[in-house]
Amino acid sequence: KAVVAIVGRPNVGKSTIFNRLVGERISIVDDIPGVTRDRIYSKVEWLSNEFHLIDTGGIELGDEPLLVQMREQADIAINEADVIIFMVNVREGITAADEEVAKILYKSNKPVVLAVNKVDNPEMREEIYEFYSLGFGEPYPISGSHGLGLGDLLDRVVELFPKHIGISEEDEALHFCVIGRPNVGKSSLVNALLQQDRVIVSNIAGTTRDAVDSPFVYDGDDYVIIDTAGMRKRGKIYESTEKYSLLRAMKAIDRSDVVLIVIDAETGILEQDKRIVGHAHEAGKAIVIVVNKWDTVDSDQQAMKNFEDEIRAQFVFLDYAQIVFLSALTKKRIHTLMPQVRLASENYTRRIETSVLNDVIMDAVALNPTPTVRGRRLKVLYATQVAVKPPTFVVFVNDPELMHFSYKRFLENRIREAFGFEGTPIKILARKRS
């Protein structure tokens, strides 16, 4: 999918536009604290196009001077995006910072759409012509606070998407990535996996600059590791910020079927782990939790049980993910990983026959009566699986409003008890029978 970045100096209204475009997406993790707040990367749907949007302004760069920050943010946009929305503000006209950004964007070969914000009424449209001088062609007048002009802006953005996007990723191989805090052992794990008696086909550059895709064969199946851990710092200010690493991780997650989340057994679970895990879960991909550096722990069954309890307590919403304990360094127990990756991916793409599904759902309804809201009872009519990656089920009911969260959870549990689905999230949607 295409990636679009918004750049512009502080207070031109980037976050307002970002939030408008992202909209009130219903996220499966709305109940996890800290995850959905101050988002800088999100999926956007416009007509039949889906793309990812980055708010470069959300990557804090400490107390760097404004011009340095602007340069770094323009650089992020150039590195990460297919199309750049350059935002200026009609009220203040063209400032020195705008000109600085324009210069950097101009030198890159990325398509740029110039958006002039705060054009809140038609009379102000006259004033946008001065922005032609920035050299990006026609300026698009928008109003973040009134939500005006966004349609035309997005039409233009979509026109500029690279033509190959959406057809190139028809690769049969299972893609997975390895994410986690710095120093948990991501690179070591990737190396250990690639060096194990497997055929490494070749290394090809990923679609993202300096993420490396390494294809390999394991037990007769094709896999590709998307390696973001191998990326080396180039000395840019933003490269060491947590938000930027997260952005990188999110892009890798989007291209993956299965996400390996690495936790360090030596340090245990830290705050940063929780944020990373929350974002991984939100992406709706299959997940395997890897507890690395198991060589540093007295590795008896009890220790494993204790660590597992800790993970389950901290990441309640990840109850579907399997946990693997290993050492990337000594390679101990490393053979237990790939079978879990495969299991997770099989479940992620699994389809359940409608008749079998309905037997399970109807048994569930018989077992636990549907809820009643203000005297009206939920009626479950039938269910069908409408998608894979992740498995998504639509339950047709008399009135979706009556489908309480807890009842949905109950149905999910019954589906899991009947079919397993280890390693993958599943989604249940309630629809009115038409």
Determine contact, residues 171/224, Cβ cutoff 8 Å.
yes
227/412 with CB nearer ligand GDP: 227
User: How many CB atoms are located within 10 Å of the residue 343 CB?
Assistant: 18
Q: How far apart are CA 387 and CA 364, in angstroms?
A: 22
172/298 with CB nearer ligand GDP: 298
Q: What minimum distance in Å lies between the beta carbon of 196 and ligand GDP?
A: 14
Residue 191 marked ligand-binding: no
Closest residue to ligand GDP using C-beta atoms: 185
Q: How far apart are CA 50 and CA 38, in angstroms?
A: 21
Distances (CA, A) of 408 to 5, 284, 319: 36, 17, 16
Encoded tokens for 138: 């026609």
**What b-and-e string marks burial along 278-289, b requiring 16 or more CB atoms within 10 Å of the CB?**
bbbbbbbbbbbb
Q: What minimum distance in Å lies between the beta carbon of 296 and ligand GDP?
A: 5
Q: What minimum distance in Å lies between the beta carbon of 151 and ligand GDP?
A: 43
Residue 229 marked ligand-binding: yes
19/187 with CB nearer ligand GDP: 187
7/253 with CB nearer ligand GDP: 253
Determine contact, residues 432/381, Cβ cutoff 8 Å.
no
192/430 with CB nearer ligand GDP: 192
Residue 135 marked ligand-binding: no
Beta-carbon contacts of 270 under 8 Å, excluding residues fewer than 6 positions away, are: 181
Residue 117 marked ligand-binding: yes
Q: What minimum distance in Å lies between the beta carbon of 279 and ligand GDP?
A: 16
Per the document, the length of the chain is: 434
The kind and range of the H/E element at 44 are strand 41-46
How is 111-173 classified by DSSP, letter by letter? -EEEEEE---SGGGGGGGGGGGGGSSSS-EE-BTTTTBSHHHHHHHHHHTS-TTTTTTT---S
Residue 268 marked ligand-binding: no
Residue 120 marked ligand-binding: yes
Determine contact, residues 412/427, Cβ cutoff 8 Å.
no
Q: What minimum distance in Å lies between the beta carbon of 331 and ligand GDP?
A: 9
Cis before 390? omega within 30 = yes
Q: What minimum distance in Å lies between the beta carbon of 178 and ligand GDP?
A: 8
153/229 with CB nearer ligand GDP: 229
Determine contact, residues 259/364, Cβ cutoff 8 Å.
no
Determine contact, residues 206/3, Cβ cutoff 8 Å.
no
Q: How far apart are CA 208 and CA 420, in angstroms?
A: 34
Nearest to 232 by CA among 248, 216, 219, 218: 248
Encoded tokens for 318: 């990840």
Rg, the chain, Cα only: 24
Residue 403 marked ligand-binding: no
247/380 with CB nearer ligand GDP: 247
156/251 with CB nearer ligand GDP: 251
Determine contact, residues 6/98, Cβ cutoff 8 Å.
no
Residue 23 marked ligand-binding: no
Q: What minimum distance in Å lies between the beta carbon of 187 and ligand GDP?
A: 3
Residue 292 marked ligand-binding: yes
Residue 56 marked ligand-binding: yes
Q: What minimum distance in Å lies between the beta carbon of 173 and ligand GDP?
A: 23
Name the pairing type of β-strands 140-141 and 112-117. Answer: parallel
15/188 with CB nearer ligand GDP: 188
Determine contact, residues 66/98, Cβ cutoff 8 Å.
no
Residue 4 marked ligand-binding: no
Residue 434 marked ligand-binding: no
Q: Which residues lie near ligand GDP (CB under 6 A)?
A: 180, 182-188, 229, 292-293, 295-296, 327-329
Helix (H, G, I), strand (E, B) or coil at 269: coil
Q: What minimum distance in Å lies between the beta carbon of 301 and ligand GDP?
A: 19
Q: What minimum distance in Å lies between the beta carbon of 249 and ligand GDP?
A: 11
56/188 with CB nearer ligand GDP: 188
Residue 29 marked ligand-binding: no
The annotated binding site for GTP is made up of 8-15, 55-59, 117-120, 180-187, 227-231, 292-295
The annotated binding site is made up of 8-15, 55-59, 117-120, 180-187, 227-231, 292-295
